[in-house]
Structure 1
């Protein structure tokens, strides 16, 4: 078979097999990957649904904590006053808070007052069936009020009326003081409205089922199994997911059903179809490219080799080389010819290279011989004639090469007498000594000479090398001069100093020491030890200082009494230093007698000052304690006042809704039909809206006061958990929409990844911070954009930014706006009426700093504002990503 035909057949078979394999693999790999992605999407939404149910439980728990830590509730357990019931446990409270049950119990678990409500019919009823029995001692809702730390209860129960969300807390005073006086329970049934809110948050259709009633066929295997979630993809167009929420006993209490489109499944089949089509097209293109490559790299080379072989056959002398790349049989033949010719050329080239290298080596050695900065002379040991000398030796002698080569070295360049050569005549192996080189004109040059025996072309020679030591001798002379100079400096230095050997014997003192000690140098040097001038009890320590200066190679110092020759005591500072490379120490003495007297006087003044400061400090401490007591009384007053204000406000709002509902039902239709009553109807409707709006505003003010007071008093209950902040941002964007609808020319943008990592904090408090910032941005923006952005680009931090194009903030107010009760002018600039309590940003800063974060604002008047919040990230298990020692302010 021809080579061209065989190549085409093999290529077509390989392409066909590859196409079949890739088509089958795409079905199993790509399709399975999309299916796994669809499962993860469903499981994530089921987890979010369960968290939203738990969030509803947390909302009831927050309300229960608020009522249970209230002096009025605490006193009601004891005196059971009717006023508490008339003002608080009324139908309006149930409707306002969407509750089905409120119960107050004493320490024995007996109900003091328990009442239920039917929200659909707006009627008060008995407590839900089966609920009170769960409150009995030892049951799931009972609390151990005698425990050192009472644990509250919150969760779900499956009652006859359906799944029930309940929270139970011990009743204490408003300041959190105990012991508990009883228990407070609140709860509500799972309703369609609650599931509708859950579906709105998820953006998916949702429904709920009781686990003890007939269930959809797909969800039946979830009950009784250990699984908490179940996904059903039996339908082609839509999938269903079921999540089971357990009650406080660990049994199933609620099953939430989610429905979602199978867009991912459809996309997978669409992707596979496109992939197969692209594979077929690319295979065809690849086949053509391969054929082109084979034609150029194989078949054309075959033709070229055939022509070259014929050319060599015609002209063997003129065309000895065959040029053909590749590794087939033809290339091997061409390589054999080239190898034979190459070996001949290589042998010739190797010989030429070796000869060139030898010449270069001789030239290099000759250059080294002349370039060495030391004299080198080769002498024949038989007749002592000079055989060669380098340029440095000739230059040092002041002679030319012709004047030296062939001359005898004795009396010419070597001062040794004939017959006294240290190496040849005296038998020394090496001559290493200081000699004199005889130069031109009879002059001599001091040198350090070395003589060795060497071999050259089988003959023994004496290799004499030497260096000029004229500069060394000059340096020795200069060193002696320097020593005399430093001795003079030491003698005349301003500090009393002495030099002692390592045994402590004084070898030299200066004039200042003579004046301090009152003794002459001749009477001290080599006669006294330097420690003799100090008290006997200090001498051992001084000798240890001298040893330490030697061992540690560090100067040692101390302050001691110095005894002069005439018996006078002086207080001196001692500095002992070991001189490097010599066994002597330098000891310097500084007279501190006058300085010590001054320090004693200053010490007396300092003691008197410390006594005065101590007295003033006690007065300040007493003032601080008084301020702390006033702050505690302020916190208690704010807590009590907030509860007392909230109670009548709840009644006002509740009765307002009832009156408005009654008037709408019975009076509005009649009033609108009568022309005389129509303006009155419109005015009453407007007044009711004002009452409701201002009531909600007053409720927000009370909530802000209560939140700030709870945070500052340390009684705030922080429910920390690890979660993705993106979930809270999604909820905040949805919750701010009603406020945006009132601003016709303001739009909201949100830009952040679907996942921002994890933070550990109270989810509700982060939502409070973001909503507060968004609400402020909408409030101070007439037209333009309010943007919510977030990122985790900086390692270890989540950054949330709320930007607006509103009126902006003056530079001098950028920090003051976070102070308590600080209020800016209304956004229209025409009214000085406050827009709130001035506590919102203060609460935001307290919450952010509670979790080691930071909040600040960047703004210019007329150009909008940007509020920035940075929070530390954690791992999924709650471990911090960032070292706690890092400065938050530097972030």
Structure 2
């Protein structure tokens, strides 16, 4: 016999279609373990009770098997015909097992109704899934309908060797129902199966979630323990408050600082923890950070403040070790939703640093007064022998303001006929030789000046050369006297020649005596200058720390004068003076870097880090370099105009940034009001960049020469006193662009603005020399 699905299956699928495959409501596409079985997922006794109840209510036999037809549950409501007669024979038992297997395979695509392979009774089946995996079959049946041939069923009983009388008696007891009713039972069975499939996946997912939650809880517990250990062993005193302002951490370093044990402080709230610092309940920085107070205690000198964080310094007067200057930082703690759940504050004892900084400031001020009131001129030169400091006496000697001397080479102050001597002395200083010598200098107005110079090389702590220090004493009057004496001697010699030999000899002796006196005077001045130089040598170290002092003074100590008008004014004056030293040194560094860059390019020692670059990304970086300039010049509008697609270049991105930054800075510098626009376009086999402004413009006669070294518009080819730069920026741009086979030129009209054009050949290859093979073609004038 074969399974007969005609009629009944069609009716079942019409009345009870499956919206999705078994388990798809929750499980399709979900990864599930391959080794889990039906009995691993469910408690079989619970499933047995469900199966028994369904079989009794529907008046059908029921059984759940694995996908291969092996029973997983005990038979429910099996008829005597099937259970005790057919299955009692070997052939009947084999036919029943084969029928169960066939039903299981037939129901994979959906619920199935057919006749069994043994007696031919009506049977139905549906499948149970775990996700996408088939794990069991639920079988029902052992019923008759009016269309079945009972004699054919009896004939089957004879064929398997069953007692015909007992077979007929048992057949009469088989439940009878219509196929339509049986189909509805199978529909209900399918819904149960689908529910069990979804329940299987849900049980598994819930178990996974429970395991993950337990693992997360364990990890959080370990993390909290580790965090507690970390806070406890932090070198800086640290306390942590919860959202109620209760102390939950008070580490060992804080115990040592305050003398209060953690066990006596944990659990304290209502600002009671402030007693350890101020002797009475007082809000700390952490209370402001977490929003418990609207403003920090006025005793704090706040250096940085935000919505959730604050940094300040304060002098604590109630600590066991005496008065201490401490630095503190507090931050609010938030949960994943952003809600404040507490705060943390860390404290650092900065008493020794505070004392050292105070002593250093006093020492620096004392030595500065000495330098500024000294009778000798003081000049400090950097490694390129350009002035980085000149005291008032030095400036007065040469007719300059002190700031006007900064950045000038020492040779700018030397008389032309003494330049060879100045270069020789420079070489000796570079070799580490100190010396005392006479130099003829020139003033700003072109006059002459004789000076006794005591010079020494300067070094940093590592022994690297920093430049030189010179002490200058004006000996012009002495030299004039010496010259007058020499002239007088010559006159005396002429007169003595006309008189007696004895008188001539006496006159010569007198002149020589005068010369010896002058020499003794010179030696005396040299001695005094040398001693003065040795006394002032420590000043050079003070100057080297100008930047550090300025920063520490402004950030750490100027806020301490808050509310004291006299101290604030004095502090601002000191800060302004330090700022002048720092910014002039910074400007000098930029000038030196320009000279060094140009020298490296021309000598071929420049290191080019060429690679494939996307020009627009690099140009946007360069445009950001003028953000500070534009913020200070709101009357200027900057426009970045670029096409969406620009071909790649093969070059050093830093060099491209340097070229464009120079052009943009010049455009902003020489534009009083209006627009600075950078345009980027693809031009044939090249990328063309144009930086245009609405500034003062450039005379047509200088459009070619502006790319020369040391050229500044309106000042010829040499640096004037008023020049603020070296005139090297455009020269460097030209060298870089030409190195990459490109071309740079300018167009301008006086009073209507200027436009600088840069044309760079596009990428020809990713590796190889920086100069692109067809660069000559790309460099042609457009």
Normalised by the length of structure 2, the TM-score is 0.30
Normalised by the length of structure 1, the TM-score is 0.26
